[in-house]
């Protein structure tokens, strides 16, 4: 569904039946997009992120001044601003489906929006799970430490977006790291093993970090994984 978030509303709706989805809603407000997918038991919010060909837009985003998260701590102003464009409409719609279990996901910028959304929903209800792909650092230590929802944070080898904003600016990652190695497998590595694995990627080409960020590459790698491969 994180991959489906890159489709138009019409395109995503056409794919819903094959995944057992019975309902769909799409929001697009001034460049910020989100899909809601649901069946009789579950409701999923999937935030759209930055596509590989638009990677420079994310890396060039200078609006990285920390701003109040509306919950705890501080978050990246640009990420919060994108979520704010959609927030009121999303909350109103989710309330009409409050009997269903809530899951939240996203890739790239969408992952950052999903993380902030999870922190807000936690104030009033339970979020079953947050799953992000290629997420940048979103907020300060106080922000990430306050999030209680189980969060599986997938990082594909040298994905360049997962390295910004810089930690020296006070930004931290949240979630249980699910590192996808050069060979496409989820592995829990020692520091030395991680260095060697990342070097394998760098040797493959100067665009390795950008290519690793593509959502299609996450889907390809995870299609071969089993539930038992997840680091819990």
Q: CB of 37 within 8 A of CB of 21?
A: yes
The pLDDT value given to residue 70: 76
Name the percent of the chain lying above pLDDT 70: 94
Q: Taking residues 134-159, what's their average pLDDT?
A: 96
Q: Give, rounded to a whole angstrom, the gap between the first and last alpha carbons of the chain.
A: 21
41-44 LR contacts (CB < 8 Å, sep 24+):
41/100, 41/101, 42/100, 42/101, 42/103, 42/128, 43/94, 43/97, 43/100, 43/101, 43/102, 43/103, 44/1, 44/102, 44/103, 44/104, 44/105
DSSP alpha helices (H): ranges in the chain? 9-15, 55-59, 77-95, 109-121, 141-146, 191-203, 208-211, 215-222
- Asked if 131 contacts 154 with a C-beta cutoff of 8 angstroms, the reply is yes
pLDDT (tens digit per residue) in 170-209:
899 999 999 999 999 999 988 999 999 999 998 888 888 8
Model confidence band, residue 116 (pLDDT cutoffs 50, 70, 90): very high
CB 158 within 8 A of CB 209: yes
Q: Which residues pair with 176 in a beta bridge?
A: 152
In sequence order, what are the beta bridge partners of 186?
180
The string of DSSP codes covering 16-63 is GGGGT--EEEEEEETTEEEEEEE-SSEEEEEE----GGGHHHHHT---
Residues contacting residue 226 through CB under 8 Å, at least 6 positions apart: none
- What gap in Å lies between CA 210 and CA 73, rounded to an integer? 30
pLDDT higher than 50, residue 5: yes
The domains located in the chain, with CATH, are 4-229 (3.40.50.1820)
47/134 Cα distance (integer angstroms):
13
Task: Tell me the whole-structure pTM to 2 decimals.
Answer: 0.92
Torsion angle, CA of 209/193/223/48, rounded to 10 degrees?
Answer: -40
Give, in order, the Cα–Cα distances in Å from 153 to each of 9, 107, 135, 185.
26, 10, 7, 14
Q: What is the pLDDT of residue 56?
A: 43
Contact status, residue 227 vs residue 72, Cβ threshold 8 Å: no
Q: Provide the pLDDT for residue 60.
A: 38
CA dihedral (193, 138, 43, 7) positive or negative: negative
């Amino acid at each position: 569904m994180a991959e489906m978030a890159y489709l138009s509303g019409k395109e995503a709706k056409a794919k819903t039946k094959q995944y057992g989805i019975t309902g769909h809603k799409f929001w697009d407000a001034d460049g910020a997009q989100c899909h809601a997918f649901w069946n009789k038991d579950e409701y999923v919010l999937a935030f759209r992120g930055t596509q590989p060909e638009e990677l420079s837009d994310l890396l060039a985003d200078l609006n990285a001044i920390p701003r109040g998260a509306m919950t705890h701590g501080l978050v990246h102003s640009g990420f919060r601003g994108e979520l704010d464009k959609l927030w009121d409409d999303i909350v109103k719609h989710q309330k009409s489906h409050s009997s269903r279990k809530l899951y939240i996901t996203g890739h790239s910028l969408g992952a950052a929006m999903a993380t902030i959304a999870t922190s807000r929903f936690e104030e009033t209800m339970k979020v079953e799970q947050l799953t992000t792909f290629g997420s940048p650092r979103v907020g300060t230590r106080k922000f990430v430490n306050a999030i209680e929802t189980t969060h599986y944070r997938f990082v594909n080898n040298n994905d360049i977006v997962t390295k910004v904003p810089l930690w020296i600016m006070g930004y931290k990652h949240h979630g249980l790291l699910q590192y996808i190695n050069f060979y496409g497998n989820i592995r829990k590595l020692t520091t030395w093993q991680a260095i060697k694995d990342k070097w394998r990627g760098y040797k493959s080409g100067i665009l390795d970090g950008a290519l690793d960020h593509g959502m299609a590459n996450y889907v390809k790698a995870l299609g071969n994984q089993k539930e038992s491969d997840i680091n819990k």
